[in-house]
Structure 1
Amino acid sequence: MTADVEMKEVQALSNSVSSAAVPSTLQHLKEIASLIETGAQAKEVRRIVRAVRLTMMLRRKLRASVISAFLGHVLTPGSEVLAKLSSYLPKPDEHEMDVDTAASAVQGPAKHSIPELEIYCYLLVLIFLIDQKRYDEAKVCSSASIARLRNVNRRAVDVIAARLYFYYSFTYELTNNLAEIRGTLLALHRMATLRRDELGQETLLNLLLRNYLHYNLYDQAEKLRSKAPRFEAHSNQQFCRYLFYLGKIRTIQLEYTDAKESLLQAARKAPVAARGFRIQCNKWAVIVRLLLGCADWRFGAI
């Protein structure tokens, strides 16, 4: 009997030690915040890229309690941005609190939050709202993030801003209000061009093309595409999207050869994990193949 009790105590102790050795989601977010601060100070965009990538890996573990504790850690207490972002979060339940949430309250929050961290906090809250399917609140949050971005002109923000542009359009698409933001996207594209934000230009151009094609406005999409400034692609994902939209435009314009080349290139360059995107490319490629009437162009070559 005594041996059984001792075994249970040893097992409970080992479990507690092993769980304490694994960093919590809040600790991971703090490390990401440090990475963003270092990248902003050293003007190293690759650190910001890594921070965004790590955030996407954590998105399934995000909870309201964790995000609330993180906001209190990195944002200035009593600031407007802290109050605004906290209003989008539901009140966390006690059972949702992480182990180190109480410890984070003891540590003093940042006295002055840098713009990169503020924009990142908008992104974090927005991702949480979308994953929780609270689309109306996500739409309001995304609009607030765009308003904040207009007043920030720092190259370290460009990577985070590109993600916010995408989710801004995505939330309006989810709520069937995509036409409402077309003028805003055009203004943001002009702003990105003036600021020489090439990643922002790529992202916003694709969002505008998607906006036009969503409503079958192919002539306006081609007019915008032809007048858009030329630059070297910085994101393979954005370049693949651009080729896909170009292939759709060329198909409607009866330029089947150019459409075929664009769709084939988009399918080849797309990441293996982007299965849905590759399927869409293949569907449009089949349409072009049928229109061309090329019997020797096999579907397996796509």
Structure 2
Amino acid sequence: MTADTASKSKKSPEAPEEEVATPAKHPSVVAVEAELSSLRLIAQSVASKDYRGVNRVIRGLPQARRRVDAVSLEYLTRMILLPSASKVEDAWRKVLEQEAKRAQQEVEMVDVEEKQDDKSPQAQVAPAEALPSSVPSNLTEAELPGGGAYIRLMILIWLMDNERNLDLSSLKLTEVARELVDRLQKLNQRSLDAINAKGLFYYSLLHEREGTLRSIRPLLYRSYRTSVLKQDRISQATLLNLLLRNYLYYSEYDLANKLYSKTQFPDTRTNAEFAKYLYYIGRLKAVQLEYSDAYSRLTQAIRKSPQGEVGRGFRISAYKFAIIVELLMGEIPDRSVFAQSDLQKPLKLYYDISGAVRKGSVNDFESIVEAHCSEFRRDGTLSLIGRLHHNVIKAGLRGINLSYSKVPMEEVMQKLGLNSREEAAGVVSKAIADGVIDATIDDDGDFMQSSWSTDGYSGSSPQRHLHKRIAFCLQLHTETVKAMQYADTSMLGGNNNASNDADELAQLLDLDGSDLDDDDELDF
């Protein structure tokens, strides 16, 4: 060992250098970078004529919706979109500029306060200084109309989300949405099918909020006819759901049934749209007294909806109708349905209704309906709940039949809350004729005589339950097989390089993705 080496070994280890903390990116900068990446993906998809990339961008709308703000949207408007060509666009551009300026002032005030408090390195970079000074020309609306339509869609969604906090006195969101829809229909590009479907959805949603859904039916009819002729499956599924929702909003069930009977839901559709379709048809079937079919479709819609916070409103509405339909079928919903943590409060009234039906308490049932009539009407279940009155009476009769071997009609009248003994006798006679209870009426003694049955397997109930379970398993198997995706073998025929084929196939499958994940929205 040399002297120099020995002297170096005796030196104490050097202290670690202090890491210089880089300023964190402002959320507006992150949003701009993410949206520019989305525009690049749209450009690549249009260039390769593989529009699944555009569909992937649209599936990412829930994340983008939470990410964008006034600063990022104002920047994208200024750098991407063409100059304004209408008064409506001038109005929303002005709103964006005002909100972006206010947000910029807030950032500058925070920076000043942090400097005064001697807080340093972790301060975020002001968005005006950190935003890119230019964007590639191939991402501008002049060269990429689909990218411009996507940015306009994001602006519409942002205006809807922040409507209460903005001064929109000189701006109607329905006009903004109509301009977007008209622009997309004039472009008439297959690459914009997914964006066109979303634009039509929000256009309908805005009119629903204003209570003017009937006024947009001609546009929906024309758009649906065009989507069928163009074989635009995405818009076709969306528009069919919008038309069904339009009819159900005004309780026009005959028109909804005619539309359902003369149309076919496209096979290549997203799970979100299929869940909506099942929900609407389930409601329609419930009104038409086809309770078994309605319950099957509603439960399928619940299973196909995302189980997280996303789509919670849709699941709540579907559960409400499914509970009432199950009660109308003469069954009591399982307690586990009401025990779900995110559904306990919204389904409290329906839990009370189920309890009243189970007990057969007519008085409790009528008091609940009378006290919460407005809420049931708002949910759209009031007419179905009105049909439950007979089920409550039947449940009460079953309880009386099991509890008493012989009971006077006077007591039956009191327990069921009926007005006279004659009415009680009529109800009991109808229940006996329908097979609801096994009993006889003694006219001389004016009482009901129960007939006891000791063999629980002698009836058809076990067979019905077994058939129900087997049918559910077979239906689940069929849906699983239909949902499987297979690679297109023609893609692998002309290329001898197996690794390149595998990479290309992996990219296509990644672009296609799943139709409905935890972040997909149902906008219900």
Candidates 76, 96, 106, aligned match of 1:70: 76
Structure 1 stretch displaced more, 167-176 or 99-108: 99-108
Candidates 43, 52, 55, aligned match of 1:49: 55
- Once the two structures are superposed, residues 183-216 of structure 1 have per-residue CA deviations (whole angstroms, 9 ceiling, x without a partner) of 2111111111111101101001101111110110
Residue 127 of structure 1: aligned partner: 157
Residue 33 of structure 2: aligned partner: 27
SS of 2:292's equivalent?
helix
Matched residue type, 2:38: I
Change (3 A) 1:165 1:21: closer
Residue 92 of structure 2: aligned partner: 88
Change (3 A) 1:224 1:246: same
d(CA) in 1 for partners of 2:334, 2:240:
32
2:279/2:318 contact within 8 Å kept = yes
SS of 2:267's equivalent?
coil
Matched residue type, 1:49: N
Structure with greater helix share of residues: 1
Structure 1 stretch displaced more, 49-58 or 256-265: 49-58
d(CA) in 2 for partners of 1:124, 1:111:
14
The TM-score, its normalising length taken from structure 1, stands at 0.85
Candidates 171, 181, 184, aligned match of 1:149: 184
Residue 194 of structure 2: aligned partner: 159
Matched residue type, 2:43: E
Change (3 A) 1:246 1:21: closer
d(CA) in 2 for partners of 1:22, 1:74:
16
d(CA) in 2 for partners of 1:95, 1:72:
17
Residue 182 of structure 1: aligned partner: 217
d(CA) in 1 for partners of 2:27, 2:280:
47
Candidates 34, 42, 58, aligned match of 1:36: 42
Change (3 A) 1:111 1:223: closer
Residue 238 of structure 1: aligned partner: 273
Q: Could you tell me how far 1:21 is from its partner in structure 2? A: 11
Does residue 248 (structure 1) correspond to residue 288 (structure 2)? The answer is no
1:63/1:96 contact within 8 Å kept = no
Q: Could you tell me how far 1:172 is from its partner in structure 2? A: 0.8
Residue 288 of structure 1: aligned partner: 325
- Once the two structures are superposed, residues 161-186 of structure 1 have per-residue CA deviations (whole angstroms, 9 ceiling, x without a partner) of 11111111111111221121112111
Residue 114 of structure 1: aligned partner: 144
Structure 1 stretch displaced more, 268-277 or 160-169: 268-277
Matched residue type, 1:122: R
Matched residue type, 2:51: V
Structure 1 stretch displaced more, 181-190 or 101-110: 101-110
d(CA) in 1 for partners of 2:177, 2:28:
33
Matched residue type, 1:287: I
Q: Could you tell me how far 1:54 is from its partner in structure 2? A: 3.4
C-alpha RMSD of matched pairs (Å):
2.8
Candidates 225, 230, 234, aligned match of 1:199: 234
Matched residue type, 2:127: V
1:192/1:198 contact within 8 Å kept = yes
d(CA) in 2 for partners of 1:20, 1:132:
20
The TM-score, its normalising length taken from structure 2, stands at 0.50
Instruction: List gaps (5 residues or longer) in structure 2.
Output: 1-17, 105-125, 339-524
Residue 5 of structure 1: aligned partner: none
- Once the two structures are superposed, residues 4-62 of structure 1 have per-residue CA deviations (whole angstroms, 9 ceiling, x without a partner) of xxxxxx99x6252x437995222222121111111111122221122223343132332
Matched residue type, 1:144: E
Candidates 256, 259, 267, aligned match of 1:224: 259
Instruction: List gaps (5 residues or longer) in structure 1.
Output: 1-9
d(CA) in 2 for partners of 1:106, 1:154:
27
Q: Could you tell me how far 1:112 is from its partner in structure 2? A: 2.4
SS of 2:76's equivalent?
helix
- Once the two structures are superposed, residues 201-250 of structure 1 have per-residue CA deviations (whole angstroms, 9 ceiling, x without a partner) of 10011011111101100110111111114531411010011001001000
d(CA) in 2 for partners of 1:20, 1:63:
11
d(CA) in 1 for partners of 2:130, 2:25:
17
SS of 2:60's equivalent?
helix
Identity of aligned residues (%): 31
Count the aligned residue pairs. Answer: 288
Larger Rg: 2
Matched residue type, 1:88: W
